[in-house]
Amino acid sequence: MQATERKEFHHVSRTNLVAAVLGLTFATGALAPSVATAQDGGETINALIVYGDDPCPVSTGDQITVCARKDESERYRIPEVLRESASPQNEAWNNRVLAYETVFDSGTLSCSPTGPGGWTGCTQNMIDQAYAEKRTDASVRFAQLIEEERARRLETIDEEAEATQADVEAAEKEYFEDKAASAPEPDHSGH
């Protein structure tokens, strides 16, 4: 009886551990770009995911708030990054066969004649493919949203600066006119 209980306890602990690691991985992955961007711009970044017709909170003076909108059907689902499993057991047979074809095509991972066995060319192809996937990925791109919010703020800053400058110039003109009007008339009598 104790062996069974111990085994079940071990299984529960492993499940809790996996859940905790996945939660931390997701949390740090989502927050890492925000922290780095906040350090660069000097403002606080509030990057949120909103669902359906939920309102996005308004940015404040020293806080940029950007929202990525997802469909309402995604609200209670496991996040997309955690839905897929990279486990070899979940890989389709077609992908396994393609992997073997790559290995045996003309030497180990032969992608180009550069490097022994073509490994250098394959590495570059994999890097290029990863960047292409990143550019066309439909997932949330908070860095792009933050840059758009900064550009929108800069537009309003220029408008506010022009209005402030016009107010200052009008106040200066009024001051100098009042000063000239209240100045004593110069004595031209020659004495």
Give the burial class of 26: count Cβ atoms within 10 A of its Cβ; 0-12 exposed, 13-18 middle, 19 or more buried.
Answer: middle
- First and final CA of the chain: distance in angstroms? 123
Burial class (CB in 10 A: 0-12, 13-18, 19+), 100: exposed
Tens-place pLDDT, residues 60-83: 888 888 988 999 998 888 877 777
pLDDT at 106: 53
Nearest to 124 by CA among 133, 112, 134, 116: 112
According to the model, what pLDDT value does residue 168 have? 94
pLDDT, tens only, 10-48: 333 444 444 444 444 444 444 444 444 445 557 888 888
Give yes or no for residue 140 having a pLDDT over 60. Answer: yes
pTM above 0.75, yes or no: no
Please give the pLDDT value at position 123: 73
- pLDDT (average), residues 135-152: 79
**Sign of the alpha-carbon dihedral angle for 141, 146, 149, 155:** negative
Of 88, 89, 52, 84, the C-alpha closest to 68 is 52
Assigned token pair, 181:
């009007």
Highest mean pLDDT among 89-98, 143-152, 160-169: 160-169
Give the pLDDT score at 16. 46
pLDDT at position 171: 94
Cα–Cα distance for residue pair 61/75, rounded to 1 Å: 29
* C-alpha triplet 12, 91, 85: angle, nearest 5°: 40
